[in-house]
Each structure stands twice: as C-alpha cells, then as structure tokens.
C-alpha cells in the first residue's frame, strides 16, 4: 500500500469522527489535534506515523500494523485493538481508560503492559524485545533465506 503523497492522511485540527479508514496507509504521516473519535481503522498500516494530541475515543483498530508509531497525549479511552501487531511504538502521556487489546502481538512498545492492568489484554502476546534468531526453527530460517 503506497500513498501517492506521503502526507495524504496527515491531519491538523481535522474532524474525522466516525470515519472509516479501510486498507489505508498512514505510513510516515503526522496528525495533530485531530478528532478520530469513533473511527474504524481496518487493515491499515501506521509505520512511523505520528499522532500528537489526537482523540481516538471509542475507535477500533482491526488487523492493523502499527510499527514505530508515536501516540503522544492521545485519548485512547475505550479503544479496541483487535488482531493488531504493535511494534516499537511509543504511547506517551496517553489516556488509556477502558482500552482493550484482543488477539494482538505487542513487541518492544514502551512497556505498555506497565501502564495497563492485565484485564486489558485478551489473548495478547507481549514481548519486551524481538526474539533472537536462536528461538526460531532452523527450517523456518532456511525457508526465509531461500525466499530472499
């Protein structure tokens, strides 16, 4: 998924309440003071995206890939992250009341498990770092090398 413009989904002070972002690419975008409350993000990529002081109140993130993203001062209250991969992302001074992670993989993401109670994570795997090469099946490593 590639945007024609790298800033295509960058918003400042925009009202995007109840919007549906399906199969979108927020990679390397920057949004400030934008209201995404009640929005649905489905099959959407957030690689290197920045969201500063945005509201995602009651938003849904379904099957999203969130890598190296910054959520600073964001309102994530009552959000649902379902079947998402959250990797090396920062959640700085966010509001988390009522947030839920269901069936997600969270890797090296600013110790998010320290901010939230265990009840917020349902069938979610949290890793503090990426697994080392020794933790993978050698046959899988050979297959990946052959595909390269």
Helix, strand, coil abundance in the chain, percent, nearest 5: 15, 35, 50
What pLDDT, on the 0 to 100 scale, is given for residue 1? Answer: 43
Confidence check: pLDDT of 118 > 60:
yes
Whether the predicted pLDDT of 144 surpasses 90: no
Distance CA 113, CA 96 (A): 11
Residue 24: which of 50, 38, 4 has the closest Cα? 4
Confidence of residue 4 (pLDDT cuts 50, 70, 90): low
Q: Given this model, what pLDDT does residue 140 score?
A: 85
pLDDT in tens, 5-28: 455 778 888 899 999 999 999 999
- pLDDT tens digits along 21-74: 999 999 999 999 999 999 999 999 999 999 999 999 999 999 999 999 999 999
pLDDT at residue 87 is higher than 60: yes
Residue 76 clears pLDDT 60, i.e. is over it: yes
* pTM for this predicted structure: 0.84
């Amino acid at each position: 998924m590639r945007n024609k413009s790298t800033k295509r989904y960058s918003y400042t002070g925009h009202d995007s309440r109840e919007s549906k972002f399906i199969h979108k690419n927020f990679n390397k975008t920057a949004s400030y003071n934008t209201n995404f409350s009640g929005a649905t993000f489905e099959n959407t990529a957030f690689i290197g995206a920045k969201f500063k002081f945005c509201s995602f109140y009651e938003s849904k993130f379904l099957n999203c890939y969130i890598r190296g993203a910054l959520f600073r001062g964001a309102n994530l209250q009552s959000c649902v992250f379902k079947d998402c991969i959250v990797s090396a992302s920062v959640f700085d001074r966010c509001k988390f009341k009522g947030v839920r992670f269901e069936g997600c993989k969270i890797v090296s993401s600013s110790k998010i498990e320290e901010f939230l109670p265990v009840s917020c994570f349902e069938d979610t795997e949290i890793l503090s770092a990426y697994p080392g090469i020794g933790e993978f099946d050698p046959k899988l490593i050979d297959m990946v090398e052959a595909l390269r």
